Chain A
Amino acid sequence: MTADAALVRRCLAGDPAACRELVGRFTPDVFAVCRRLLADAHDAEDVTQEVFLRVFRSLGRWDDSRPLRPWVVGIAVNRCRTWVGRRARRPELADYLHETPDRRPADDSAELRAGIRDAVDALRAEYREVFVLFHEHGHGYDEIAAAVGRPVGTVKTWLHRARLELLNALRARGLVPEESAEVPPSGGDRP
């Protein structure tokens, strides 16, 4: 039995220590994903809690031959999608989002970071989700495929198109320096 499966079994048996261990293990991941996809700390906190209620309600249906993290992250991505959909019907909240302090760039690198983030946010939902999971949260293709419930090939196609759209958007926003040769190459490894 995997460590994940053993932990889940203890949770299902009602072991409070196991429940705390599971929440403690995944809260940083889930909160980070929610924080990024929702762009609001309060919403992220609410949705993170909602995610864990879902996780424990459906824990009995988790396939114990699969890793737990992508399953939990998948629930987080789903809840964020639902939340964003609800929020889109309340325009006053969307306006408020653009005034959160961390949207205001402090210097050039922050401006660049904010520019990239805005361009990522402008991608269609599934492109944005796979981009964020891969590039900002270090999930591999297999994990993302499990999280969004699509084949690896589909996830790759989405991510490749997402990148191309992003690069074109950065060009259109004038964020790309004129003389590309002067930009020092930085490590090509994923974070």
Chain B
Amino acid sequence: MTRPTPTDDPLPPACRATADRLNRVLDGEWEAASLDADRHPAGCAACRERVAAARLVLSVLAQPEPVAAPPGLTDRIVSAVRADRRAQARRRVLAFAGGLAAAAAVALAAWLGRPADAPQPRAPDVAAGVPPAVAPEPRAVPVRIGEGLSKFGQALRDTPIGIADASAAPRVLATLTDALTRRLDPAEEPTGTTLADLPDAARAGLEPVTGTAQKAFARLLRDVGGVSPKPKS
């Protein structure tokens, strides 16, 4: 039995036992007849009225109003749930495919943009006296890609249909291979291979990713896009 502390009890102490009895009856622990055994209400008008009100409430609640769900509601809900699941699955697959395409494009652009005539990795040295053409920003790149990929991995694991699902897998693979083969095609003009030209699908795929990761990717695209790609003749 829960009992309010004396300070927040809205009842006079003399009425507390009657209120507890009413609650036990309304809880279904005690029979309503036990209310008759209480002597306090005979001398307390407020409690007499509370007991009468409790009997009214019991009599009304004993005949609950039947509430029937409208016909066809279950069918409508089932349709809505299925449509929602399909939409969610589509969004996740797009997020995954778009994310991978973006990562692949980033890697490719970085590869295309690497200095062809500088075989040593430490080539852009400050000792040359020339300020580096590109801000040191791209050093953070690998971390961001990893972050982004882990998000896509999570989206993948959360996908209820499973990415291995027979219907989803070919679509994912097709999207990925499309993006990769298009970019790697040796016949294609390499000057068009900056990330500023990233396919819309890849950008749209980033949509469900959290703001931070999305911002990181936007900066990444801008930074890497600024590197002029050099054709590997």
Given A153-B2, A185-B55, A186-B55, A36 and B67 touching (CB < 8 A)? yes
Q: Which of A17-25, A66-74, A75-83 lies on the face that meets chain B?
A: A17-25
Whether B33 pairs with A53 at a CB distance below 8 angstroms is: no
Whether B11 pairs with A45 at a CB distance below 8 angstroms is: no
CA distance A24 to B78 in the complex (A): 9
Residue-wise, chain A 36-47 has the 8 Å CB interface mask toward B (1 for contact) of: 100001000100
Interface-central residue, A16, A176, A177, by most chain B CB under 10 Å: A176
Q: How many residues of A contact B (CB 8 A)?
A: 53
CA distance A36 to B66 in the complex (A): 11
- Cβ of B25 within 8 Å of any chain A Cβ, yes or no, is yes
Whether A53 pairs with B69 at a CB distance below 8 angstroms is: no
Q: Which of B32, B34, B48, B81 contacts A186 (CB 8 A)?
A: B32
**For B135, what are the chain A residues with a Cβ–Cβ distance below 8 Å?**
none
**For B69, what are the chain A residues with a Cβ–Cβ distance below 8 Å?**
27-28, 31-32, 48
- Cβ of A2 within 8 Å of any chain B Cβ, yes or no, is no
Whether A188 pairs with B82 at a CB distance below 8 angstroms is: no
Give the size category of B's interface with A: 35 or more
CA distance A19 to B74 in the complex (A): 11
**For B19, what are the chain A residues with a Cβ–Cβ distance below 8 Å?**
160, 164
Q: Which of A23, A166, A183, A186 contacts B62 (CB 8 A)?
A: A186
CA distance A175 to B55 in the complex (A): 12
Whether B85 pairs with A56 at a CB distance below 8 angstroms is: yes
Residues on B lying within 8 angstroms of A by beta carbon are 1-2, 4, 10-11, 19, 22-23, 25-28, 30-36, 41, 46, 48-62, 64-65, 67-70, 73-74, 76-78, 80-82, 84-85, 88, 158, 160-161
Known: A52-B81, A180-B55. 9 other contacts (CB 8 A): A23-B81, A113-B65, A171-B46, A180-B49, A180-B51, A185-B55, A188-B26, A191-B61, A191-B62
21 contacts between A and B (CB under 8 A): A14-B161, A28-B69, A31-B70, A31-B73, A35-B67, A49-B73, A49-B76, A113-B65, A136-B61, A156-B1, A163-B54, A164-B50, A170-B53, A170-B57, A171-B49, A180-B48, A185-B32, A185-B55, A186-B58, A188-B58, A190-B28
